[in-house]
A and B are shown apart, each in its own frame.
Chain A
Amino acid sequence: MDQVKRRGVLCLVFVIACGGANGDTGDEDRGPIEATLNMGDRVNWPGLDQASGRSIPLIRGFGNGVPIAYWFLGFASRKTADSFWFCRQSDFDAGRCPLDEHRRLNWETLQGNPIFTQIPGKSDFSPFWQMWRVVVPDNYIPNSIKTPETLNAKKEGGEVSVEPFILDFGDFFGEPAGPQEVVLHCAHVLDGTTLEENGGEMPDGSGLMLELLGRQGWFQEPGEPGAYVVNFIDFSPSDGAFPEASDSESRPFMRFANIYIHWRFCEAEPEPGICYLENYAYADRRPVSERGLGQDITGDGDPNDTNNVLGAVPCDLQRQTELPYSPLWGPQAVKVNAAMDGTVSMIDTTRDQAVSDVLSADDIFANVDDGIFAEPVEMSEDETGNPVPGNEGRVFFNCPNPVNADFVPHPCAP
């Protein structure tokens, strides 16, 4: 950690947001951010447009030996952006603000809505937020501070204190993390955006999933007065909060985990059935993924089934060589050796999302040992063969997992 540098970043934010405080009456509420967006701007916000509104698709795969699912929110990167969370001194001192004892945002003690410094479409946007805690006096009127410039003025006037939020993570899945700056997953969405099957059945049949809720925050367009309302999905009840990555530099990086994408090669004998698609991006291979193929190959009426395998799921790191769960996934390509293609059944041959020979990272590496799979390779480009800008050539996706209704992110159930 480099606290000096971090404070410098905060000061920079305040300097850019020039202007004075807006007095005790509070900053202007400029209404929903959606009113300022044109149709093209909406592309940068997650979800797929349908006649009934925007929905974030639930994609199916496997992890730790069972069917799992994840919401696909699109490309993301390891960088973080700044967010400010308001707490009373007594709540902060008691450790019940901004997070509760389960490392979830504590909406019972938070004072008003947070301030975000970015929105989708800005080049420095990230859905992974460094948390800054703002300690306010007991007579603070929630939501009277909506902008960084007012926050800065109040800080300079000694009315509030603003510091990076530090949390003692202790042992983080075997890593001695200790006190660290905190990264939180809050996905900005357009008003009305829903998570597909939110609160529905867990994909492994273990019960209902925890229903995640939408919240609101503030965003100030630089150079403009007041702040706009932005909607976001609070993933802290399922994701918890994260210590910054151990390779963080001048500001925190988000941690990531592995997702394994399976590929069959069309030179195999007999030719894999998914190879019949012509003019596919790659002539010689196909992903074992309905989303990758754009087609319902299992015949269950949706195009969301895959044989993708997560290296870990929330609160469950079964294979010690894997990275612990993160909603930020770095894909690894798993290539089926053409000569062994017929020896492994996955959803493209079983035609059933519930049935596959490859259900876990352990299965993958057992197949590697048996010569059926090649060693997984980090995917540094997208399907077009083009690196996705902003990630130094690597591809990352924001894909949080649903969890059971009684799940808490900390401490993990034994």
Chain B
Amino acid sequence: MRPVAVLLVGACGATDAALGALEVGVRDANAFQTLRDGDILPLRLNTNGGTDMVTVALRTRGADPRAPAVDVEVTVEGVVLGGEITTGAPRDMEPDGDGFVLWDVNLAFRSRTCCHNCREAEVIARLEDASGRAFEGSARVMLARGMCPEPSVCCQSADECPDPAIAQVCQ
């Protein structure tokens, strides 16, 4: 249902070869820091309720920065556990001297912490700019609330996770 997903599949001439590069990173001292394979992506825990989150930033070169459509997924062992939350109108990208950056893309998890904490994950991001040009990129990261391993963050039962195979069950 996301416009970007539909357009990536159905737009005339939008082939993989036409995809522009999209860097997945984080904000570091107000500068864009690209996430490299194996980097730790801090898992933030919502103060009030049931949603764990991570926050990323997305950078492109040559994009129209006005209100892009984005589609981000976080997978653990191929299981989609999280993605960007849609709570407001699309925002513009901002120049950082090396491209345009969409800051503070909040990704929420639909799984308990024990399913994704201290797990290697892939962040897969797609972006379509106002001109219809599509960009795609990904990063393999370690999701971590604190230090890993952290055996105290564990599931009482494997069935607490969407795929029991990824559950970290209490010993």
Q: Interface on A for B, CB 8 Å cutoff?
A: 36-44, 47-52, 54, 56-57, 59, 70, 72, 74-77, 119-123, 125, 221, 259, 261, 277-281, 287, 289, 291-295, 301-304, 306, 308, 329, 331, 379, 382-384, 386-391, 397, 399
Q: Which residues of B lie under 8 Å from residue A76 when comparing CB positions?
A: 87
Question: Do residues A386 and B89 form an inter-chain contact, with CB atoms below 8 A?
Answer: no
Bound Cα distance from A54 to B22, whole angstroms: 32
27 contacts between A and B (CB under 8 A): A40-B71, A40-B83, A43-B80, A43-B108, A48-B50, A50-B159, A51-B159, A51-B160, A51-B163, A56-B50, A57-B50, A74-B51, A122-B1, A125-B86, A259-B48, A279-B144, A279-B146, A292-B45, A294-B52, A383-B46, A384-B44, A387-B104, A388-B87, A391-B87, A397-B48, A397-B49, A399-B49
Question: Do residues A123 and B89 form an inter-chain contact, with CB atoms below 8 A?
Answer: yes
Question: Do residues A59 and B50 form an inter-chain contact, with CB atoms below 8 A?
Answer: yes
Bound Cα distance from A50 to B152, whole angstroms: 20
Question: Do residues B73 and A289 form an inter-chain contact, with CB atoms below 8 A?
Answer: no
Given contacts A51-B161, A389-B87, A390-B88, contact A39 B73 (CB under 8 A): yes
Question: Do residues A41 and B2 form an inter-chain contact, with CB atoms below 8 A?
Answer: yes
Question: Do residues A383 and B44 form an inter-chain contact, with CB atoms below 8 A?
Answer: yes
Bound Cα distance from A292 to B53, whole angstroms: 11
Q: Interface on B for A, CB 8 Å cutoff?
A: 1-2, 5, 42-53, 55, 71-73, 80-91, 104, 106-108, 110-113, 117, 144-147, 152-153, 156, 158-164
Cβ-neighbour of A50 out of B82, B88, B89, B162 (below 8 A): B162
Question: Do residues B87 and A49 form an inter-chain contact, with CB atoms below 8 A?
Answer: no
Question: Do residues B104 and A50 form an inter-chain contact, with CB atoms below 8 A?
Answer: no
Question: Do residues B46 and A49 form an inter-chain contact, with CB atoms below 8 A?
Answer: no
| Additional 7 contacts, C-beta under 8 A, given A38-B5, A44-B83 | A43-B83, A51-B162, A56-B50, A57-B50, A123-B86, A331-B47, A382-B44
Cβ-neighbour of B145 out of A37, A54, A259, A294 (below 8 A): A294
Given contacts A36-B1, A384-B106, A388-B106, contact A121 B112 (CB under 8 A): no
Bound Cα distance from A78 to B79, whole angstroms: 33
Question: Do residues A303 and B112 form an inter-chain contact, with CB atoms below 8 A?
Answer: yes
Given contacts A36-B1, A49-B110, A121-B2, contact A382 B147 (CB under 8 A): no
Cβ-neighbour of A261 out of B48, B73, B145 (below 8 A): B48
Bound Cα distance from A44 to B51, whole angstroms: 11
Cβ-neighbour of B113 out of A42, A50, A303 (below 8 A): A303
Q: Which residues of A lie under 8 Å from residue B47 when comparing CB positions?
A: 261, 287, 289, 291-292, 331, 379, 382-383
Question: Do residues A383 and B53 form an inter-chain contact, with CB atoms below 8 A?
Answer: yes
Given contacts A278-B147, A383-B46, contact A48 B88 (CB under 8 A): no
**B94 to A: closest C-beta gap in Å:** 14
